[in-house]
Amino acid sequence: MVVKVPMDNTEFKKELQKIVNDYGFIYCKKKYYYDLEKMTVLINLQKSNYENSYYVNYGFCIKDLHDGVEYPKINECDLTGRFFYEVNGEKDFKYPLDIISNDELKTNLEYNINSIIIPVINEGVNKYFELFPEAIYVATLKLKKYLGMA
């Protein structure tokens, strides 16, 4: 029988950094950034106050709407969301350190990055609304006006 050893905070962060770096994100001010001509993409971690787990949040910050903001915080982004974690067909927004393996972390992060972040990087922020039409309700008013949606 294989005994699963819980992942600690340091190992989780180290593995996450390896994965997002492979996609071209850079680490700065405790967050990961991907810089484009018109947009900055952000990935950050949020530790759960109640469990040994993390939330992996992401945001898209349109540069035309934020003059001089080189490294935005998640609350400064025009559109935000959260990666999900899936194991055995069950989905949750928490990445549980006590049961997640390195392979599961890699699989889940790569899936989220490839299905959410990469399409927006390649096709622009409008692609996010194609993928997630309900996101119109959480987008900032500035973004909706900028895109002609308000």
Q: Is residue 132 one of the residues assigned to a domain?
A: yes
Distance in angstroms between the alpha carbons of the first and the last residue of the chain: 57
Q: Is residue 2 one of the residues assigned to a domain?
A: no
Q: Which amino acid is at 103?
A: D
Residue 99 is given by DSSP the state: T
- pLDDT above 70 for 69: yes
Q: Between helices 102-112 and 9-22, what is the axis angle to 10°?
A: 40
Residue 17: what are its φ and ψ, rounded to 5°? -60, -40
pTM of the model: 0.92
Q: Is residue 135 one of the residues assigned to a domain?
A: yes
Residue 47 is given by DSSP the state: E
For residues 81-91, average pLDDT: 90
Q: Is residue 1 one of the residues assigned to a domain?
A: no
pLDDT digits (tens, 9 = 90+) for 9-57: 999 999 999 999 999 999 999 999 999 999 999 999 999 999 999 999 9
Q: Is residue 96 one of the residues assigned to a domain?
A: yes
Q: Are 32 and 74 in contact (CB under 8 A)?
A: no
Q: Is residue 4 one of the residues assigned to a domain?
A: no
The total number of structural domains in the chain stands at 1
Listed residue (67, 77, 9, 6) closest to 40, CA to CA? 77
The residue with greater pLDDT, 87 or 131, is: 131
Q: Which domain holds residue 102?
A: 9-146
Q: Is residue 106 one of the residues assigned to a domain?
A: yes
Q: Is residue 42 one of the residues assigned to a domain?
A: yes
Structure tokens at 117: 């972040």
